[in-house]
């Protein structure tokens, strides 16, 4: 009886879901600069404290190693699937007085490339308890839609360009994709009617993360944002 939580700081934490006891923790991003790891009891090692007025490279960026979009778990494979962002920021702390009703960050940031290369995303399969990565599917852009795992050993998600696609849940091989016409930022679901299975996904590109991508990939300015609900199914004779 476990609970696994992945936070924006780029770590996964494994807890006893009944007692809250920390059992394990592991990184899910390739680039960490704000800390150098975790102790055996889950405390951060070497946490970076920025100096006022001096830019400090922080990985992952404020967008997070993973945003709000949900991970997926398959009891068939035993894998947890998560979308991950490799994106950093140069953050500068400045003196700022908190004011009621105003946003308060006490600093500024500029997005930056990670130490190991360029901005990118990847979709990974993990053993959720040990943290062993089973496979990784690299992506040019950040993947900001949720994941859906099915009993047919598929993992569905959508990308910023508008492609909705399925990977083999055991190997990470891409098996199918469809251009929906606008970017993906939501969560797909699956359901069954009269013995026929359907997969439904909302499309619609937006949010602060979407705006940030235009600074990193100029072509992202052209990604369409119109909202649509699309439903897919296998041919009826294949029920």
Whether residue 87 contacts residue 114, with contact meaning beta carbons closer than 8 Å, is answered with yes
Name 20's bridge partners. none
Distance CA 39, CA 220 (A): 39
Helix (H) or strand (E) holding 22: strand 22-27
Q: What SS3 class is residue 222?
A: helix
* pLDDT at residue 214, as a whole number: 86
* pLDDT at residue 238, as a whole number: 62
Q: What's the rounded mean pLDDT across residues 7-27?
A: 97
Distance CA 157, CA 141 (A): 13
Nearest to 181 by CA among 205, 153, 198, 145: 205
Q: Kindly report, residue by residue over 24-81, the tens digit of the pLDDT.
A: 999 999 999 999 999 999 999 999 988 999 999 999 999 999 999 999 999 999 999 9
Q: Kindly report, residue by residue over 107-161, the tens digit of the pLDDT.
A: 888 999 999 999 999 999 999 999 999 999 999 999 999 999 999 999 999 999 9
Walk me through the domains of the chain, giving residue ranges and CATH numbers: 2-238 (2.140.10.10)
Burial status of residue 98 (CB atoms within 10 A of its CB: 0-12, 13-18, 19 or more)? exposed
Q: What is the pTM of this model?
A: 0.93
**Does pLDDT of 239 surpass 80?**
no
* pLDDT at residue 226, as a whole number: 87
* pLDDT at residue 158, as a whole number: 97
How big is the CA angle at 86 (ends 84 and 93), to the nearest 5 degrees? 120
* pLDDT at residue 209, as a whole number: 79
Q: Kindly report, residue by residue over 199-231, the tens digit of the pLDDT.
A: 999 999 988 877 888 889 999 988 988 899 999
Query: Is cis: bond before 60, omega within 30 of 0?
Result: yes
């Amino acid at each position: 009886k476990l609970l696994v939580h992945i936070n924006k700081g780029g770590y996964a934490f494994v807890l006893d879901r009944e007692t809250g006891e920390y059992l394990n923790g592991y990184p899910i991003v390739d680039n960490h600069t704000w800390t150098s790891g975790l102790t055996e009891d889950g405390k951060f090692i070497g946490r970076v404290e920025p100096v006022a007025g001096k830019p400090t490279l922080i990985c992952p960026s404020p967008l997070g190693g993973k945003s709000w979009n949900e991970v997926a778990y398959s009891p068939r494979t035993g894998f947890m699937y998560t979308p991950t962002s490799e994106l950093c920021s140069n953050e500068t702390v400045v003196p700022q007085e908190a004011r009621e009703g105003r946003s308060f960050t006490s600093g500024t940031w500029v997005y930056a490339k990670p130490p190991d290369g360029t901005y990118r995303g990847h979709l990974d399969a993990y053993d959720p308890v040990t943290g062993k990565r089973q496979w990784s599917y690299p992506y040019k852009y950040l993947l900001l839609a949720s994941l859906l795992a099915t009993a047919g050993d598929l993992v569905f998600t959508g990308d910023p360009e508008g492609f909705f696609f399925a990977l083999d849940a055991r190997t990470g091989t891409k098996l199918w994709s469809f251009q929906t016409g606008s970017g993906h930022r939501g969560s797909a679901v699956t359901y069954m009617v009269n013995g026929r299975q359907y997969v439904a996904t909302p499309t619609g590109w937006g949010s602060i993360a979407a705006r940030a991508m235009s600074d990193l990939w100029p072509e992202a300015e052209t990604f369409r944002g119109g909202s649509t609900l699309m439903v897919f199914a296998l041919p009826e004779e294949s029920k």
